[in-house]
């Protein structure tokens, strides 16, 4: 069996650790980065859920099954295995004793130009917050609404429990053949989220705001948009190896529901930090302040609240013992 390894660089500590473990078990492995390789049976991707999303943004061949590995002790939904326990799964990998789940992706065109497919969601927002955006939503070339709102989100089933849910969208079971559409803070109080078949062509056009608008892919990449966004089902789907049967879509959604109930009573700064850690993965306090644009004191207080509630845990960075890092707890 030939194993590929994908990470930030070949010299990354997690990549080197996985390579060493595979060597110890007599398994052939090679660093592949995000390049398409037909000679590997599966690819091990480091960086947790964020690393998995990044991988599918950049790879040209999503058909090869991938196993997501997190450097933290917190297993995600896409990356179930943490680095410390990786060696205990190697024999199962060697025997191909695992299940592979398929995740629908969204193909995206911005002003007619194809860009990366997304695993979670695609959103259109004005380039600055607190600014309304006008747009027309069309499904299969027919106009559904002409709206004025903070923005709009189109999500896959796996992405429905991320940004879309925070904006009031429904949670969709992973194997449902649909997409979710949410107009964020619409001026029309009757506006409700939509569920459309994943065979649909979803278009957002006549987009306008006082400043230019942006398309955000999985919370990672940003592109300026002039007028039209088109979304369709992207084939083939992402194939992800599942090693743990207890991390089902139902249990993941159950956890999201409980968290959503607690979120109602959280300060806005705590909510923002929690969402940032969900999207970005492990961060230092300084990195959290930079990404959220919150004052240092506000970040400290929000972290203390999240630590006290058990939503976030603090660790010493293995790369720099002087640094404390924060991550979402199990």
Q: Indicate which residues carry an active-site annotation.
A: 49
Which residues on neighbouring strands pair with residue 231, listed in sequence order? 108, 202
d(CA 326, CA 246): 25
First-to-last alpha carbon distance for the chain, in angstroms, is 32
In angstroms, how far is CA 151 from the centroid of its own chain? 19
Surface-to-core class of residue 325, CB atoms within 10 Å of its CB (0-12 exposed, 13-18 middle, 19+ buried): buried
d(CA 52, CA 68): 6
In angstroms, how far is CA 94 from the centroid of its own chain? 28
Within 8 A by CB and 6+ apart from 84, the residues are 73
d(CA 94, CA 27): 8
Cα–Cα distances in angstroms (integers) from residue 151 to residues 82, 123, 318, in the given order: 36, 7, 39
d(CA 169, CA 164): 5
């Amino acid at each position: 069996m030939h194993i590929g390894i994908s990470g930030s660089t070949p010299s990354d500590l997690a990549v080197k650790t996985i390579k060493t473990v595979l060597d110890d078990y007599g398994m052939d492995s090679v660093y592949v980065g995000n390049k398409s390789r037909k000679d590997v049976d599966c690819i091990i991707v480091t960086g947790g859920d964020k690393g998995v999303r990044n991988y599918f943004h950049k790879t040209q061949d999503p058909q090869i099954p991938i196993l997501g590995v997190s450097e933290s002790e917190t297993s995600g939904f896409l990356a179930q295995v943490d680095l410390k326990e990786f060696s205990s799964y190697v024999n199962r990998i060697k025997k191909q004793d695992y299940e592979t789940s398929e995740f629908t992706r969204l193909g995206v065109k911005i002003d007619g130009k194809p860009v990366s497919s997304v695993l979670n969601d695609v959103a259109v927002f004005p380039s600055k917050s607190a600014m309304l955006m006008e747009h027309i939503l069309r499904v299969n070339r027919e106009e559904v609404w002409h709206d004025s709102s903070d923005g709009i989100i189109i999500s896959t089933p796996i992405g429905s429990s991320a940004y879309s849910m925070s904006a009031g969208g429904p949670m969709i079971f992973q194997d449902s053949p649909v997409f979710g559409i949410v107009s964020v803070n619409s001026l029309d109080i009757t506006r409700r989220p939509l569920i459309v078949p994943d065979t649909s062509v979803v278009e957002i056009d006549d987009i306008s705001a006082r400043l230019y608008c942006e398309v955000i892919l999985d919370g990672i990449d940003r592109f300026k948009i002039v007028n039209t966004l088109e979304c369709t089902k992207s084939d083939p789907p992402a194939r992800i190896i599942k090693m743990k049967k207890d991390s089902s879509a139902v249990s993941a959604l159950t956890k999201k529901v409980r968290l959503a109930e607690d979120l109602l009573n959280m300060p806005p700064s705590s909510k923002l930090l929690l969402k940032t850690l969900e999207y970005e993965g492990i961060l230092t306090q300084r990195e959290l302040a930079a990404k959220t644009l919150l004052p240092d004191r506000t970040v400290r207080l929000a972290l203390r609240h999240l630590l006290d509630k058990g939503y976030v845990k603090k660790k010493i960075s293995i790369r720099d013992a002087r640094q404390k890092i924060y991550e979402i707890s199990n």
